[in-house]
Structure formats: structure tokens, C-alpha cells
Structure 1
Amino acid sequence: MTQRFGRVRIVLTALVAWAALAGGGVAGGAQAAAAGDSLRQVAEVPVAPGVAYGEFRTTVPRGIAHGHLLTVDLDDPRVTVDLLYPGAVGARSPVSELADARAAVGAVNGDFFNISETQHPGVEPTGASVGPAISSGRRLKGAVPDGQRFGPAMPPGATTEDVLGIGYDHRARLDRLSLRGTVWTPDGPLRLRGLNQYALPVDGIGAYTELWGPVSRQRATCGTDTDRAAPCSAETAEVTVRGGRVTELADRPGAGGVAAGSVVLVGREEGARQLRKLRLGDPVHISHRLVGRGPVPLRFAVGGFPIVREAQPVDGLDASAAAVRTAAGVGDDGRVLYLMSLDGTPGEAGMTVRELAELMSRLGSRDAVDLDGGGSSTLVTRDPFSRDVTVRNHPSGGAERPVPNAVGVFSFG
């Protein structure tokens, strides 16, 4: 794999693109800018059948913002989109490595994640993402409580359960995925309130599977539903279930990978009290699913809060803090997916979330979500000739930041 920070390497395309920008126009094939509109796009470059890459510049009050865009035609039967992740929920890798490992033709970084734990000395950050996640139809995790999320403030009405997804009908949409689960015990059913999450609701019980990875589960019992910085709970319990029977009991959440075929249950407060009633050998059955609101189940889902609905910015978006940002948008009744990352080169202007929403609407999105930004913002493509993966934007930290997941684009043509 070759990793490069830079613009399109095809010389003819670059010349056409920058000539268009310099002249204030748009090369053939690019979306035209309306009179008085500061958005200037260049001709898109085919990356693979049904997938194109392009760049744009737009004026914001702080200067010129430079962005990178993947346009994905979901009507093309050769194209699919899936969640990329490093084999475990509690793990991170650079976007270029995630894309290369799965032979994706393009990708952008995904959800916000548990990046630090300065409020809880001695507690290991998990690297796990905030929202629900589905990869190739496989449920990876549920959403943490709203007050436990990392990232900019969500607009009114948004929750950590909000996702961008693509259903088995090959159509993209914004949805909301809620965890529905039960722990069946000899004393009766207990509600399951977490699945491979770095934070559990107060009084809750969470399930951790082999997909969680070896990172500690201690963080799950820290903070509250409304305060991420609140102290860790003093009342916890952990139960290991294998083959439908309790095989281990502990007072504190542990670390180390969960064996295939096993499930580790972690409880806090009332959830811990309920788990302590279990004894070695007790029969326990655990069931869970992620329930969406759309008519077709999602095959892929990544967490992100809505910023555009019906081609308009949603109310209550932050309009003060500017940063490098990544977003994903849906157009043409779910038939087109737009994946965008701003450039983090020093001197390039960032955007507020409100400006990001306006941008995604102008790019063609009828609905859009905000994804992780700052040093995480990364967009990559695979060269159609050399097959090398290239980082198209310049990450603001000077190098790629390892992230828990990414939106990967595939084309089998």
C-alpha cells in the first residue's frame, strides 16, 4: 500500500481542475455554481465504476474552505458501502489501513469515539465509537447514553442512536437504531441496556462479546447518563456466560478478550445488584437486536447526528465553533451517497456545523449527518491503475489519526 497526502495524481485532471478554480468556473461534468454562490467544484475523477472523487473550495467568513468529495452511485449494482473497523469495537486504525485491508476503493472516517479519559484517572480510554454500528449486517454495538458522547453539541431532538445507514434495498437513509435485548435468568428477565459500549446507562446491564476486543470494560461503569465526567460507579458486577451457563463471577469489570461463544455481562448500580443474584452454573440466555424505524433492515450503519433534513439545515446547529469536519449526505431518494472531508492544511478555513449543513445541502444532499472531525477527518481513494491507497485531504494533525471505524466504498466492476 502507498499512502500519500495530496491531490489527484492524474496530471490532465489536475490541470483541468485548477484551471476551473482559477477561472471561477466549473469544468465540464461538475455541478455548476449559482450566480453569487461561492461554491466552486472541479470536474470529478472516476475512481471505480459508480464512484467519483472531486475537490471544491467555498468561501466562509474566516477565509476559503477546501474540501474533498466522494460521490457514490448506489443505483449501480457494482457498488456497495460498508462499515470498516479494525476487527474489534475497542480498537483503532488509520482510515487508509482500514480501506486497504478490505480493498475499498474509497473511504472517510466514521463516528466520534472515546478518545480520552482525563476525568477518570487510571481508566483506560477504549477507542470505541459513540453510536450504533452495523457491518455487513452484523450488529457490532449499541449507542452510549446521550450525556456520555464525545463531539460537538447535538441539535435539539438528536440522540446518540441516530445513524447513517444503507438497507438491504441498496438505499441510503438516516435512521435511528435502538437496542432491544433481554437477559433471561432463573429469577426472571432482565433488560439488556448495552451492547459492546464504552458507557452503560445508570442501573444498566451491558453485554460484551468477542467483537469488543481485549480493552478493559471498566470505562462502561464511569460517568452518568447526563455527565460524562461523573465518577465511576462504586457498585459493579461482572458475569461470564458460556454455553448458556454462568461460568465466572466478579465484583469489578475486567479486561482481556471475550472468548468466542462467551458473553460477559457488566452491571452497575441496580444492574449489578441483579447480576449478583446469579450463581455458577445458573442457566442464562441473552438476546439482543438493533431496531430501526425504516421499513427495510439496515445492512450498514454508522453513528452520526443529523444536520440536514429535506435539503435544509436542521434547527439548533452550532454556528460559532469552526473546525475541520467530515460529513455524509444522501441524495436522489437514497440512490446517491456523498462522503465529504475538509482539508486540514494550515491556513485552510474550517467550518461551523451550521456551515457544514449548508455545504452538504449545496452539494446535493437532501439529508446529511455530521461525522467525527478535527484530526480524525480523512478521505482516501484507491488509485485505479496502481491500486495504491492515497489520502486525499491533509489531516489537521499532520498524519492520520487512528479511528474506530470508517465508511468504506466498494466497486466490483
Structure 2
Amino acid sequence: MLPFLAGVLVFTGPVSSGFLSVPHAVAATQSSAVTYKLTKQSETMVTSGVRQLTYAWVPSKSSIPTEVLHVLQVDLKNPYVQLNAMGGPQGSVTGKQSVGAMTKETEAVAGINGDVFRTASSTEGVPMGAQITSGQLLVSTEQLQGMYAFGVTKDGQPIIDNFVFAGTVTAVDKGVSYPLTGVNKSAYRTEPDKGYSHVNALYLYTSAWTASERPANSSTTPNEALVVDGIVTEVAERGAIATPIPENGFVLRGHYGKDSGNFVASLAVGDRINADYSLTAKSGKTYNPADFQMMVSGHTLLMDQGAPVSFTRDVNGLSGYADRARTAVGFSKDGSTAYMLTVEENGGRKGVTLKELQQMLKELGVWKAVNLDGGGSTTMVTRPLGDFQTKLTHPTSYGTTQRLVTNGIGVYTTAPQGSLKGIAASGPETLFIGQQAAYSLKAYDTYYNPIDPTGLTPAWSIDKQLGSFANGMFQAAKAGTATVSVKSGNASDSLKLEIVGEAQIDKLIVEPSSTLLKPGATINVPVKAQLTDGRLLSVPASSVSWEFKGFTAAVQDGKLTIDKVQNNIAAGYAIARYDGFGAVAVLASGTEQMLEDFEAATYNVSFSGTPVETAGSAAIATGITGRESSKVLTMDYDFTVGTGKRYANAVLNDGKGIAIKGSPSAISIDVMGDGGMHWLRAEFINGDGKPAYATIADQVDWTGWKNIRFDLAQAGLKGEAKLVKLYLVNQEQDQDERSMLGQMAFDNLVLQYPPGQIAVAQPTIVMTVGKKQATVDGKSVTLPGAPFIQKGTNTNYLPLRFVGDTLGAQVVWDNKAKRVTVLRGDKMLELWVGKDTMTVNGVRQSMPVAPLLIKGSVYVPVRLVSETLGQKVDWVNKTQTITIR
């Protein structure tokens, strides 16, 4: 157990170097402890009785990222507030949808994702635990150990417990009964016996089950009876009933040849059927499902009696000991308040371990809590004050994309329309310099629900001159924080505005669609900024300025079009700059060659899977969406059977592959993604017969066609290589985050050939402290200033321009910014006089000492700069000699 000290959790331990991401619990050095503190950042109303709060999980060590916790605090005693379970479209338990879609469909004012669902063994996506919506049991529990659920009774009392389902089906006229095992359940393996759920078991399926089978992969042949208004209307042996289940009916499914199947077969059309079932809590109390307003199951218990508890289930499958996005629900000691919460995972924010989540809950004062589905499923949506629709509260693991999930918990208001209470300023709260944004006036009533603001005339203002307003449009002009205010009559509101500045940027990222330096070429150049607080934001094209070295070009709407290229240059540099902070895309002249567009392919394409249970197919096909009139390579995959890491391979030319001529530096490829989140790779065979591999995409997080460029340097191709496979990897960790079934397609594989490696000078420079005379490759030269050792820091300084010029680098001085830019090979180094930070290819790094400006020359720490540029530095203390080689 981890120690708890004065309400603040202390984490200690060695740093992990395994595959799992390093959790905060071990992110500190072995000799130091890290404490965390929960600090409230903001609070707003969603509706009467519902508050939305944001907290920072602040570490005592600044080198560890600050995580963010979002909380919906629900007053269960408020007469106008209700919680309910949300599910698939039109109430389907087998159809998944996003939390945002759920709230829109059911008119919820807020919501979070709910239960875990089994993607590895079924295609239905049914909740693993119980789901009760508006007093109706839509899905029963499974025979699993340690699964806890959150429910609210009809009289508004919250409950978290481990529930067990029990039921009986009775043929009233015959006086015969049979035990009912479950309602609307997928096939699964029971615990602890690892039995097959549907063997000799009787299940009930309602119209909420919309999947084509009842269920898939059950390993049993069914006998079924359709019951409508309590009367058997149809019986089928050794097969499923094809008649759709009406809302006032259900299907009884038994196992053909077994007792459960014999019970179903004994039924006759016209028989009266009675189905009774209940949920029994671990506490011993038995409930009729109608006793509940709602219920959503989760996973392990997290809190009980205000304290963290031992996990009631194995949490390794949830990456419980690694940093991930988290979702949980709990309630206060007096049962009057429910807490629905999520922890972000995006960009530099990696989320938290379940141990940390428990401590967050403790500091919030949560009495009892259960963990819900997390990772990529973690989603919260809320209705901003004055708005009529819910919006994503914070980024998901995929940015703005919401994962399709099995169910969620929705927050609803039943308040009548009240009178005007106030107005709300609506608009973006984070902007970049140069960005334009629209702000609008919203209005809300005495129950904090939106009302039509027609007739209200807004007057906008800002308390700091960071930009200008005109008719609700704001143009950001400089970095800083300010308050945007709006007035209408006697009502007013404000919101905090942040305009991102250079000091907040940890990393600037340019992701060019091509690195070929060719006149007339158009390259997509999206720019992203990762901030020091971990946020990863797209920088608007209008906020980015560009500088070009070695060529001329124009950039419009994020597309760079090359005009002229200087003769005989090894590389061109496209420098994206935001508020003085720069990142570079290194371009090199070369050629492109189509490797394969599949239009005239005559070789065989086949599928292979690992392990052998992995199923699928691969073919060259036409009629694929988005490429209807052309031929493409398609691959269908099925990971539903088997365990461990799994591979789906589209094998080209019976494994002999497609020949690659010469030594290309990259391949661009059109890929139709399915959002399955698998790792996409390519396998090559080198000229020496050995395999080589390259990553196309870390995860397939998109749907539809997308052009991707991937570097071949990572594969280390040698000789006349061949492309033999395009394949997906379903890694063993976090398999519940990925689709088990899907289809990918590939088209237009284009090889990109540079002129070769970007050549850089590799001279040997020998200098002596205090002397202007030096040698370059043995030849005597005179320095503009002698190297010296700075007192107090024991750091060797030398003139940057001399070293840069000697190493064949371009050195550019910006006198206004006091910034020097060094371009050499595939690196861009930027330093500022008097600042102890530098950037290397857009990544901010600390320096032990700052550059100095002496008599018009910039002096820099010799070892740091030289080694950053890829050189080696030797120091001989006896002779005070510096050698760069």
C-alpha cells in the first residue's frame, strides 16, 4: 500500500523502463518523494443542482506534468435533477455511439461514458455489467467476480454495490419453471470457472437487442420462443426466430439438446409465460430492477467509507498501474451528492494511475466510488451556460474525436422555464496571436437553463489591450491573459481569455506531407504546439509566419507551394514561427516514383494472421468508398478469437513482394482508416534477405481516406529491397481500446527519392583557451575572439559564428529578438542571448548557462552547442585545449 500523509499522496519508487508508460507514481528519482495537491481552477453551473468543476492535480516537482480532473457535482436532492443510463441509438444495447450523440438523442445536459464492454470476444459491444434505464433492466449482470455498479433508486438514493442477477421463467399453464441466467447478454467466459456463458443456460432478449445474432460466438445452437404480451407466439428448434422482437415482447433462448433448450422446446403457441428477475447486492438486499431509476456498471470498486480500497478486480487489463485517462462515479457520505468525473489524456497530459485516481476522490470527499471505462473511452460532455447543446468538455485521447461506447450516465433537468436570470459570454477561451474568433451572447433562466437571447443587445469589452473587438469578432494581437466582458442592460458576464505566447510553448511541431524540394510542389504543413502544461493544440495557419532558406515559396491556408529552388543546395529549410518560437521542416530535392497504384497489378494478394485464430482477407478490389472507380488493396481483419498480440497481414505477391528501386527516403501512401486504433506498419525484405520494418501510423485514429508519408530511415533499407506486407498490430496492452473487426484499404504508394544524405562538413577544429589562433584540419586560422572559461560556471565559451561557419552551418542573427538560428544538416538550433533555454528542431531544452553577446559576437557553451549539432568535443585541461571533431 502507498502511504497517505496529511491528505496528500506521496509516491516513491524506481523509474520503470518497460513497455508501459511511466506512471506518476514512479516518475520521480529514487531518492525523492513527490506529493500532489488538488487545486480548483474553475466552477460553473450546468443547470439547477449541477455544477461543473475543474481541478489541477499539481505535483511538487515541476518536471512532472500537471494533470487535469473534471467533475460534475450533482445534487441528488434537487427536485429538478435526474440521472439516467444512456445507451446506443434508439436504446439499442448492441449499438454503440459517442457520449455526445447519446446526450443529444436523449436531451441530457451533461454526460460521461459508462461501463466497460468486451471487444475481444464479441462484436456486439454490450455492457459487461447491468444497465437500468428509466426503471427498466436492459442488460443484466454477468457471472464475474468483483464487478461493481452505480445506481440511483426511484427515491433518489445512490448505491454502489456488487450485484448478482437471478430470475425464473414460468410456463403458467404447465406449472413448469426454469432458471433465467440473464437478459440481453453477449457470450462470455464466466468466473472463476472459465465456463461458457450460454451452455445449458436460458436467456431473455428484448427489442433493445438489435444485433443480427443472439448472441455471436456462443458455441451453442439455440432453441427459441417468441413471447408477445406474455403469450408464446412462435417456437423454433435448432435455430433462431427470424421475426423481429416487438417492444411488448421478448425471445427466450435455450441451448438445443440441453435442459434449457428442452424447456423452450416444450413451450407451445398460446402458452402464458411469466418472467421474474431481481438483483441481489453483496450487502444481501434484493431489489426489483424497477426499484431503480438507473444503473450503470463499472469495474473495480475504488472508494468505500471515504477511503481508497483494494481493487476488487484485476486492473492490469485497464492499465491500472500506468497513466491513462480515467472515468469514475461516486457519491457523498450523506448520499445527497453524486460525483461524475474524468481525467484528461491528450498531448503531454498522460492521465493518472488508479491509485492516483483514488487519492483524487479522497481529496474531493467522495465516500464511495467505482471505476468506469477509461483510456480512449473517457469522455465528458456538458452544456455550457446559456447554450442549448452539449459540447465536449475536454479533449479525449484522440483529440476532438469521441470513441463509440456502449453506454453512459446522463444528467437531465425537469425544471420549468424560468425568468431571465443572467447572460453568458460564449466563445473560445484559448487563442493564438493573429487568430480571429467570434463571441456571442447567451442567456439563461432562474434554473440555469438556456433561453432565447433575442432582443438583448451585447456590448463587448476586454480589460487588457491584447486585441480588438468589432461586432463580436475579436482579433488576437499579442500574448497574455485578459477578461472578456459583455453587458446587456443591467446584466453582465465575463470569461477568461488566454492568448498563447512563446513562453508557454514546450514544443512546436511541423508535420509536412512531403519533404521533397521541387519547384511547383504543394505540401501540407500543419503546425501543432504542445504547451508546458501538456496541452496539444493546433496552431491556426493565420497565426504562423514562415521563413525559407534555400528556396522561395508561399504558404496559404496551411499549404506550402514551392516557387524557385537555389542551385546546388543540399537542403532547404521551411521555418514555421509562432511568436518567435520556431520549428523546421527540412526539405531536399529529389524525385518521386509510383511504386504501386494497383490498377495494373497482376500478382497475387493474400491474407495471413498471427496467431492462427486471426481471420481476415486481402484483395485488390474496386467500388471502395472514396475510390469507387479505381482499384485499391483492401484488407478485412477479425481479431475476435485468440489471445495476446495479434497481427493482420496483407501479403503482396505471395510474400515475394514489390521491388523498390534505388534508395528512397520515404513513401507516401493513401490509407482508408476505420478508426480501429491499431498500429499500422510495413514490412520489407532487404537485398541481403533480412526483414526490415517501418511504422506508417502509430494508431489508425481516422476514418476515410488520408495521405500519409512515412520515413524509410527507420527501416534501414539496404540494397534492392522489396515491400512484402502492409499489416496491422493489435498490441496486447489496452486491447479493449481497439476494434476487433474492421477494414482497411491502401492506394497510390509513391516512393520519394532525395539526392542522398544531407552532406555536412566534418572538420577537426583545435582551439586553446585565451588564444585567437586555432587550426581547422591542421590549417592555421584566426578567431574573431578567443575562447574563454566563464568564472563561476567553469564553462568553455567560444564564438558561435566561427564554429558554425567552419561546420558548414547557416548562422542567422536576429538583432531585435537577440536570437541566433543555426541550420545544419537536418537540425535547427536556436539560442537567445541571456536566456538559459534553447530549441532543437522545435523542442525547448534547458541550458546550464546562457549565450553571451561580447563586442558584437555571440559566444556559446562549446560542448553543448557542438554536441547538439552532432559533433564530438574533447577537452584537455592541462593544455586548455578544445578539439571539435
TM-score using structure 1 length:
0.77
1:49–1:295 distance in 2 versus 1, CA, 3 Å: farther
Cα pair 1:246 1:279 within 8 Å, conserved: no
SS in 1 for 2:37: coil
Q: Name the structure where strand makes up a greater proportion of residues.
A: 2
1:205 counterpart (202, 220, 225): 202
Corresponding letter in the other structure for 1:101: E
Which residue in 2 is equivalent to 1:154? none
| Aligned equivalent of 2:126 | 128
Q: What does residue 251 of structure 1 align with? A: 238
Structure 2 gaps of 5+ residues are 1-34, 188-196, 416-446, 448-885
Deviation at 1:246, TM superposition (A): 4.9
Structure with greater contact order relative to length (CA < 8 Å, sep ≥ 6)? 1
Cα distance in 2 for partners of 1:382, 1:46 equals 9
Partner of 2:346: helix, strand, or coil?
coil
Alpha-carbon distance between aligned partners in 1 of 2:273 and 2:152, rounded to the nearest angstrom: 30
1:368 partner letter: A
1:76 deviation in Å?
A: 1.8
Residue 24 of structure 2 aligns with which residue?
none
Q: In the aligned structure 2, how far is the partner of 1:169 from the partner of 1:242?
A: 31
Question: Residue in 2 aligned with 1:106?
Answer: 110
Q: Distance in 1 between matches of 2:215 and 2:158?
A: 35
Q: Aligned ranges for residues 145-294 of structure 1 at < 5 Å?
A: 145-146=143-144, 158-159=146-147, 162-185=148-171, 186=174, 188-199=176-187, 200-219=197-216, 222=217, 232-243=218-229, 244-253=231-240, 257-268=244-255, 270-275=258-263, 277-278=265-266, 280-281=268-269, 283-293=271-281
Q: Deviations over 1:195-218 (max 9, x none)?
A: 111134542110001122244213
- Matched with 2:747 is none
For residues 371 and 379 of structure 1, what CA distance do their matches in structure 2 show? 12
Alignment-derived partner of residue 310 in structure 1:
305
Does the CA contact (< 8 Å) of 1:139 and 1:290 recur in 2?
no
* Alpha-carbon spacing, 1:49–1:73, altered in 2? closer, same or farther (3 Å): same
What secondary structure does 1:265 align onto? strand
Residue 151 of structure 2 contacts residue 159 of structure 2 at CA under 8 Å; is this kept in 1? yes
> What is the alpha-carbon distance in structure 1 between the residues aligned to residue 360 and residue 373 of structure 2?
16
Q: What SS class does the counterpart of residue 99 from structure 1 fall into?
A: helix
Tell me the SS of whatever aligns to 1:218: coil
**What are the Cα deviations for residues 116-157 of structure 1, in whole angstroms up to 9, with x where unaligned?**
44xxxxxx61121111111111221201221xxxxxxxxxx6
Task: Identify the residue that residue 229 of structure 1 maps to in structure 2.
Answer: none
| Residue 102 to residue 236, structure 1, CA distance change in 2 (3 Å) | closer
Aligned to 1:362: 363
Larger fraction in helix: 1
Number of matched pairs? 350
AA of the residue aligned to 1:112: V
Deviation per residue, 1:207-259 (Å, 9 max, x gap): 0011222442133xx4xxxxxxxxx4245432323351251304244677422
Distance in 2, matches of 1:131 and 1:240, equals 25
Go from structure 1 to structure 2 and tell me whether the alpha carbon gap of 1:201 and 1:356 turns closer, same or farther (over 3 Å shift): farther
Corresponding residue for 1:227? none
1:43 aligns with 2:47: no
Contact preservation (8 Å) 2:226, 2:241: no
Q: Which residue does 2:73 correspond to in 1? A: 71
When residues 187 and 73 of structure 1 are mapped into structure 2, their CA distance, relative to the original with a 3 A threshold, is closer
Following TM superposition, by how much is the alpha carbon of 1:37 offset from its aligned partner in structure 2, in angstroms? 4.3
1:301 alignment counterpart: 295
Q: Do structure 1's residue 383 and structure 2's residue 384 form an aligned pair?
A: yes
Cα distance change on mapping 1:260 and 1:102 into 2, 3 Å: closer
Q: Letter of the aligned partner of 2:294 in structure 1?
A: F
**Matched residue type, 1:198:** S
For 2:238 and 2:67, locate their aligned partners in 1 and report how far apart those are by CA, in whole Å. 52
| Greater Cα shift, 175-184 or 70-79 | 175-184
Aligned pairs for 1:79-98 within 5 A: 79-85=81-87, 86=89, 87-98=91-102
Contact 1:177 1:292 in 2 (8 A): yes
Q: CA deviation at 1:47?
A: 1.4
Q: Does structure 2 retain, via aligned residues, the 8 Å contact 1:57–1:67? A: yes
Corresponding residue for residue 54 of structure 2: 55
Deviation at 1:404, TM superposition (A): 2.1
In 2, the alpha carbon distance for the partners of 1:387 and 1:246 equals 45
Instruction: Output the amino acid matched with 1:113.
Output: F
In the alignment, the residues of structure 1 paired with residue 185 and residue 44 of structure 2 have an alpha-carbon distance, to the nearest angstrom, of 39
Tell me the SS of whatever aligns to 1:351. Answer: coil
Shift of 1:187: 7.1
Give the whole-Å Cα distance in 2 for the aligned partners of 1:216 and 1:341.
34
Against the structure 1 CA distance between its residues 257 and 126, is the aligned structure 2 distance closer, same or farther, given a 3 Å change threshold?
farther
The alpha carbon displacement at 1:322 in A equals 3.0
Q: Distance in 2 between matches of 1:202 and 1:313?
A: 38
Write the distance in 1 (CA, Å) between the matches of 2:366 and 2:390: 26
Q: State the 1:194 CA deviation.
A: 0.8
Q: Secondary structure at the match of 2:338?
A: strand
Deviation of the 1:280 alpha carbon = 4.2
Shift of 1:348: 0.8
- Give the aligned CA root-mean-square deviation in angstroms: 2.6
> After the TM superposition, which of the residue ranges 42-51 and 180-189 deviates more from structure 2?
180-189
Mapped to 1, the partners of 2:112 and 2:363 lie a distance apart of 20
> Structure 1 residue aligned with 2:404, among 402, 407, 413?
402
Q: Which has the larger radius of gyration?
A: 2
The verdict on how the C-alpha distance between 1:188 and 1:359 changes in structure 2, with shifts beyond 3 A counting, is: same
